[in-house]
Each structure stands twice: as structure tokens, then as C-alpha cells.
Amino acid sequence: MARKYFGTDGIRGRTNEWPMTAEIAMKVGQAAGAYFLRGKHRHRVLIGKDTRLSGYMMESALTAGFTSVGMDVVLVGPMPTPAVAMLTQSMRADLGVMISASHNPFADNGIKLFGPDGYKLSDEAEAKIEKAIEASPKLAAAEQIGRARRVDDAPGRYISIAKSTFPDHLRLDGLRVVIDCANGAAYKVAPDALWELGADLIQMGVTPNGININDKVGSTAPAALQAKVLETRADIGIALDGDADRLIVVDEKGQIVDGDQLMALIACSAARDQTLKGDGIVATIMSNLGLERFLWSQGISLHRTPVGDRYVVEAMRAGGYNIGGEQSGHLVLSDYATTGDGLIAALQVLAELVTRGEPASQMLKLFDPLPQLLKNVRFTGGQPLEDEKVKKVIAQAEKELEGKGRLVIRKSGTEPLIRVMAEGDDEAQVNEVVDRICDAVRKAA
């Protein structure tokens, strides 16, 4: 059954347009609150947000929805998505909510839900909440309406948890690190954690004003970080996205290091330390074939999932793996967190940098990726992937790449885009195949 509200990562859209309106947010609060009203204890929901201007509106609407069905609300303010997941569990909340559209522009916003165990909800749970959104809510009696309060120590709690994942015997003293927080949710906690561990810190993207989140800064716009690393002669650069569940690294030469290389590093380090579980890692269909071949050469398997860190986490839990992620920089280290955490992943990379004493450019180049090209085609309606001409072009491309590469075509779960990706040993063939499919999709759209 097609889902009306939830995409691959919660509910997301342009603010004040369906489904990202205050009215829908209140209904989500009522539906999700009612779903988690189990047992006779006093129920609570923990709500965090990033730095978008619309966060205030969505926070208030969600609070109204939750309290109206009898659930108490704990507001933690701007916090990374993984911090909300952690605090939901540690503060014994029945439900966690993150208000964020991650790497999207400020005009978008989103609602992500976490269960009491700190994990994102299953498709089944989201389907039940969707059904309840359009039903009449069962409102609490006047004396049973929930209460709302803010807590001030949430950042300190998260910083303490994040720092505990860094080896006790190591320090970052003498290491020059540029940190780019995308003017997003981690603008306070990430620099504080790195500074407390001893880093010589250069900060970027730490002056949010409500509309500059992800604006020419952060993991999806790393050019500014590359320039700053070179300008300051830093040892390494770290870029997070708007809700800090994503990480991209820049080495001392200004070269971008994506999630595939980072997963390779962390997996090999875990294998060396005999802490790798499941004898492999989990990645999505978008990860480069070069990563798979490299891991195989190291005796490490790669299990692939559909795109979305929730599917990575599901596969990790099912297979007993403790390392997973996406090429885009969502890195899930389940020994420490229940979802992607850019800061914790960065700390593991920095620990290796200190331990090995090598330049980042040398340490982070573990394999040569195969030529890969990803292009997006925006569409305004319809189902262009169901067009017979598009299907024919895709089938022909798959035949041409058989045995020499891969083709991944999918509809984005967060934006009105068709994503077309191909990779293979022949770069010219990869480029031609992607362009041909994109042309067909544009005509159909």
C-alpha cells in the first residue's frame, strides 16, 4: 500500500504546504501520541529540532497534538537527530520526535519519529499512525491533558555520550580540525565535544539565523570546507548536515572523502581490533562497487539494502552487524547509536588519525572507486518510471552493463526527484547510459 504521509525518512515537505503544515503536525502529534499510549503510567514524548525558522511553528503544533491526547512533552530545543534518539531511550520517553528536513533547504521541514528504544519506527507502525492521522482523535479529559516543559541539560548529556565513544587513552591535542555544522542542529554540541577533547578548532556554519541552514555550508556543500582546510592548513575537515546524522570528511589536501571510504576505514579498524560483528558491514545499493571489492579483499562481506538509513539499521539488527551506512555519509555504528550520527562517526575517524599518525589523505584512501555518476531529474507529477519508453531504455541499459557495472534508478523518498545512478569499469559508457535514461525520464515527466 502506498504511503500518503511518510517517505523514506519520516514526513517531509515545504513549510506551510501539504503535508508540512501546522494542522497536519498537530494531527501527527495526536495520532502518534495515541499510538504510544500503552499502559497506565504517565506517558512522555521528547521533541527536538534543528535551526529552521519553521521549527518553532512545528514544535508548537506537535506539542498541542501530543498534550491534547494526554501525553507529556519534553522539549530539548536544537539537537542532532541521533541525540534525540539517544535521549528518548535514556530519559525513558515513550516516543521521540525530531523536527528537521536534514540536508534540505530551510524552507522545507520534516517530522521523524523514534520508538522508546531509540530506533526509527517500522513501516507497519507508520502505516497505523498514517491511518490515525485522518481519523477523529480521542481527546483526553480536561484533567488528563499533558504538560509541556523544556530541559536545559540535553546538550551536555549528548556531549558526554559522544565523548565516551572516543578512546580514553587518546586526545586530539595538536590536531587542527575544521568543523562545519551547516548552521544546523549540531552548531553547539559538535564544536564543544571536539574542543573538550583537545582539538585546535576552526569553526564554520555555527551562526544559525533560521534561514541559513545548509546554505553553502555543510556536508552537501563542502566547497567552503575544502577552501577553509587549505587556507588554515588544517589536518582534516569535518562537515555535518542540518540535523547532524550525516558526515563528509575533507583531507588536508582539500579532497572530499565520502561515506564509502569512511565505512571502509572504520570496518578495517574494527576487524583489526576484533570488534567487527557479523564479519561484514551493511550499505545501500548506492555504495560504490569499489567498496564491495575492497572489503572482499579484506575478508569482509558487504550486505546491501534499499536507500535509507532506516533500512540499513533494520538489516544490521537482523544480521547482527555493528557497522553500516550510506555513501552520502550516514554512518551507523550500533555499538554507540541507534541511527546515523555524524559526530560519533567523526570521532572514530579522528581516533584512527591520531593512532596511525598518517596524513588524512593517506589514511582515507583505501580503494579506487569505480566510475560512478548520479543525476537527478525533477518532475512535477505522474509516474515517469512507469512510462513504457522509459522502461525500454532502462532495460537496454541494464543489458549493456551486465557483468561490467550496476544501474540503480529510484524515486526519491524526500523530494520530487528521479535519481539515476550507474557505475562500471568504463566511464564513458557510464556517462552515456545515465544521460540516455535521464533524457527519457524528462520526456516522460
Active site residue ranges: 102
Nearest-angstrom CA–CA distance, 228 and 360: 16
- Cis check: omega of the bond before 19, within 30 degrees of 0: yes
Give the full edge-to-edge strand order of the sheet including 323-325: 301-305, 280-284, 323-325, 331-333
CA proximity to 337, closest of 78, 88, 98: 88
Helix (H) or strand (E) holding 373, with range, is: strand 372-378
In the chain, the amino acid numbered 428 is: A
104: nearest Cα among 228, 262, 218: 218
Q: What is the DSSP string of 94-128?
A: SEEEEE--TTS-TTEEEEEEE-TTSPBPPHHHHHH
What does 197-258 look like in DSSP terms, one character per residue? Answer: TT-EEEEES----SS-TTSS-STT-THHHHHHHHHHT-SEEEEE-TTS--EEEEETTS-EE-
Q: CA-CA distance, 145 to 73, in Å (whole number)? A: 11
Number of CB atoms found within 10 A of residue 223's CB: 12
Closest to 105 measured CA to CA, from 48, 179, 182: 182
